């Protein structure tokens, strides 16, 4: 399988790619698949599915102390 750098280096024309976010936790991946199917007609070099970092929330507990809570709204990397 070629790397993105190899794909770009070997091009004889301008190329582009798409970046998609995975669904929020609890939602179906089917929407992502439908989106990919729709984008394929444009012949992108690749379609990247990525996720953002965890979200950190600090909650006031008592007497000036805070509790750190890490939440992840989207699943990890999709391959």
pLDDT digits 0-9 by tens, 12-55: 888 888 999 888 878 888 988 999 999 999 989 888 888 767 77
Predicted pLDDT of residue 78:
47
Give me the count of residues in the chain.
79
- Determine the average pLDDT of the residues in 68-75: 75
CA 30-8-13 angle, to 5 degrees, is 100
Using only C-alpha atoms, what is the Rg of the chain? 19
Examine the pLDDT at 57 and tell me if it is beyond 50. Answer: yes
pLDDT digits 0-9 by tens, 61-70: 888 899 988 8
């Amino acid at each position: 399988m070629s790397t993105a750098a190899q794909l770009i280096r070997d091009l004889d024309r301008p190329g582009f790619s798409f970046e998609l976010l995975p669904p929020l936790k609890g939602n179906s991946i089917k929407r992502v698949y439908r989106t990919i199917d729709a984008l394929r007609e444009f012949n992108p070099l690749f379609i990247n599915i990525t996720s953002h970092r965890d979200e950190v929330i600090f909650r006031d507990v008592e007497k000036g102390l805070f509790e750190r809570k890490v939440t992840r709204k989207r699943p990890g990397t999709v391959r």
